[in-house]
Amino acid sequence: MRYRWFDTEEHEDEYGQPLSRAAHDPTLQPPPAEGLTKGGATGCVLAAGILLYGLVTWDTPLSLFSLSFLMYMLRPLVRQHGGAYGESLSHAMYGFSLAAGCGALLLAYL
């Protein structure tokens, strides 16, 4: 935590709340880790389950939408473990997931 000092002697804001002298300095924080978080992993497992349900019940829009969500969530792993082509594969997965999601919404409403 770095501290900043006020230019003026106002110690309260316009609502009467005390102002803090501490400021968040992003250069002192470690960069966020690449990969999936707990919530992202849970979302992937849930999307895989919904994908299997959609395939078993022959529900094409549900299968396509869950596949697009699963591909969107797995992009950081492909970027990290894809080697020399990881970045371009990640971008291709992003484009396909957008197209599949829009196609799933179109199929659902037709």
Which residue matches tokens 């990290």?
80
Instruction: Tell me which long-range contacts 53-60 makes (C-beta under 8 A, separation of at least 24).
Output: 60/107
Residue 81: count other Cβ atoms within 10 Å of its Cβ. 11
Kindly report the pTM of this predicted structure. Answer: 0.68
Q: Tell me the average confidence (pLDDT) per consecutive run of 10 residues in the chain, 110 residues long.
A: 53 69 61 81 94 95 94 91 90 94 91
Buried b / exposed e along 16-49 (16+ C-beta atoms within 10 A): eeeeeeeeeeeeeeeeeeeebeeeeeebbeebee
pLDDT score at 23: 52
* Cα separation, 66 vs 49, whole angstroms: 9
pLDDT score at 35: 79
Kindly state the tokens that stand for 68: 């697009």
